[in-house]
Structure 1
C-alpha cells in the first residue's frame, strides 16, 4: 500500500470577501477589488468539482451571496456583481459563513454526516464593526474564530493589499473628499487564523493572490488515502520471472 492523493467528493468551502470601501485602493492595480474578483473566479473554476462552494461578502454587515453549491457559474456571477460599502465587520463575515455551513448540514439526511468544511476569508484592513479593540464583543472577529474552532471549521485568512494603500473618502456634506490611508492588517488576520486552526497568508499582487488560492485548492480539494500500490511490483515480478525463463532456455536449453 501507499499514500495517494485523491479528489474530495464531499466538502464545503465558504469564500468570505471583504467589500469595504478600502477595496477601491489602487496599490494593487487596477484596484484591490478588481484583482480580488479575478482571483476569486479562478479559485472557483479550479476547485475540485465535488466541493460545495459558497460566497459571503461583508462590509458594515455580512450577507450570503450564494449558498454552498457545486454550480460554479452562480458563484462567479455573484463575484462579478459585488458592490463596495462602508465599514468592516470581519466577525460578521465569519459568523455568517458558519451559519451557511450549519444550514447546509441541517438539510442533509439524518444518518448522513455533514461534509468537512472550511472558511477562506480575504480582507484588506482592520475591523471597524465592532471596534477592533472590543475583543469581548460576541460579534468580534476573534470571538467568531473561537466559535469556528469549536465547530471544527478552520478559517484560513488572506491579508490582501499593501501598507501604503489609500482611498478617497467623500465628506459627509458631499462637497469634497479626503485621502485616507488603508494599510492591510496582518496582525488581526493572523490571529483569526491561529484561533480557528486555519492558515494565514499575505498577498499584494494578482500573482501572489493566485498562488495562495492554488495552495488552498490543493489543500482543500484533495485528501490523502492509503491505496493498493501492488500493481507495479506484480508487473516487475512477472518481468523478472519471464526473463528467468528466457535465460534458462537460452543457456541451459531446458526449463529450470
Structure 2
C-alpha cells in the first residue's frame, strides 16, 4: 500500500480561516421579511431549503478543495536501484535429511543452522540469496532474490519430512549451480551444508557437481555439521509416531567436502557446535565482501488535480443554483 504525504503541508494552516467564517454564519441576525395578513397556503419549499443549505456550505467545500490542492497531496512508493553485476549471489544448499535432527547442536542441527543462516542473511542486505534443500533429491525453495524476507520465511519453514529420505550431496549442489550459472554477479557462491555421507547411488556424484560449479565460476563453501564421536540421532519411531533417539557414530564425508571446496576455490569448515557454526558464517561473511550500492527511488503520484476539479465542480454548481433561484424568485 503506498504512503500518503503533503508536499507543502503548511498550506493546511489556511483552514484556520474557517474560524471567522463559521462564527459569522452562526451569528443570528434579525430576520427581514414582509408583513402579510395570513400564512395560509404558504408552505416552504424543501427544494429551496436544500438549495439555500448548499449555498451556505459551498464556500467551505470550494475553499477546502483549494487548500488541499495547494498542499499537494501525493502518494509514493519506494523502490531500489541496484547494479546486480557488482554484488554477490549466494545459494544455500541445505541437507534436510532426518539426521539433521540430531542433538549434538542445540536444540538440534537443523534449528541451529536455520537460526544462524537467518543472521547471515540479515548481514548481507545488498546481495541476492536463494535456498535449495536436499535429501534423496533436491528442491529449490527460493531462487536467488533480493527479497530477503522470502528467504527468511523459507528458512524458518525448513523440515526433514518434505523430501524422500537419504543424502544426495551432488544433487543439492548441482541444483544450486543450475540457479547461479546464468548469474551476472561479480561473485557467485554456494554454501553447502550436510551432516552425512552421500548414499544415493543413481544421483549426481558430488565431485561431478563440483566440476560444474568450477566451470561456471561458482565458489563452494562446504560445511560439515556434527560433533566428533557420537551423537543422539533419530533412528526409529515409537508406537505413537514419535522419534526415538539413540547414540550413533557421527559420519561425515569430509574428504569429498574438502575436495569440493578445493576444486571450486572455496573452503571447507567443520561445525561441531553452535558457536563454531556461527564463527564459520562470520568468516564467510568476511571473505565475501560486496561493493554494491543500493539507492532508493521514490515514485510519486500527485492528487492536487482531483481537488482542483472538485473545486471547479462545486463552483459551477453554486453558480447554477444561484441562477436558478434568481429566476425562480423573479
TM-score, normalized by length of structure 1? 0.71
Counterpart of 2:208? Answer: 143
The CA distance in 1 between the partners of 2:159 and 2:111, in whole Å, is: 11
The CA distance in 1 between the partners of 2:223 and 2:112, in whole Å, is: 13
Say which SS state the counterpart of residue 154 (structure 1) adopts. Answer: strand
Question: Of 264, 279, 282, which aligns to 1:211?
Answer: 279
Residue range with higher mean Cα deviation, 90-99 or 115-124: 115-124
The CA distance in 2 between the partners of 1:32 and 1:76, in whole Å, is: 17
Question: Of 142, 153, 156, which aligns to 1:77?
Answer: 153
The CA distance in 2 between the partners of 1:69 and 1:125, in whole Å, is: 29
Counterpart of 2:117? Answer: 40
Number of aligned residues: 201
Counterpart of 2:94? Answer: 17
The CA distance in 1 between the partners of 2:231 and 2:259, in whole Å, is: 22
The CA distance in 2 between the partners of 1:139 and 1:203, in whole Å, is: 25
The CA distance in 1 between the partners of 2:250 and 2:171, in whole Å, is: 20
Post-superposition offset of 1:114 = 4.7
Stretches of structure 2 lacking an aligned partner (at least 5 in a row):
1-84, 292-330
**Contact 1:162–1:184 at 8 Å: present in 2 too?**
no
Post-superposition offset of 1:120 = 0.9
**Contact 2:93–2:131 at 8 Å: present in 1 too?**
yes
Counterpart of 2:196? Answer: 125
CA offsets 1:133-172 (integer angstroms, 9 cap, x no match): xxxx77011110111111111111011111312313227x
The CA distance in 2 between the partners of 1:84 and 1:152, in whole Å, is: 31
The CA distance in 2 between the partners of 1:28 and 1:185, in whole Å, is: 18
Counterpart of 1:61? Answer: 137
- Root mean square deviation of aligned Cα: 2.4
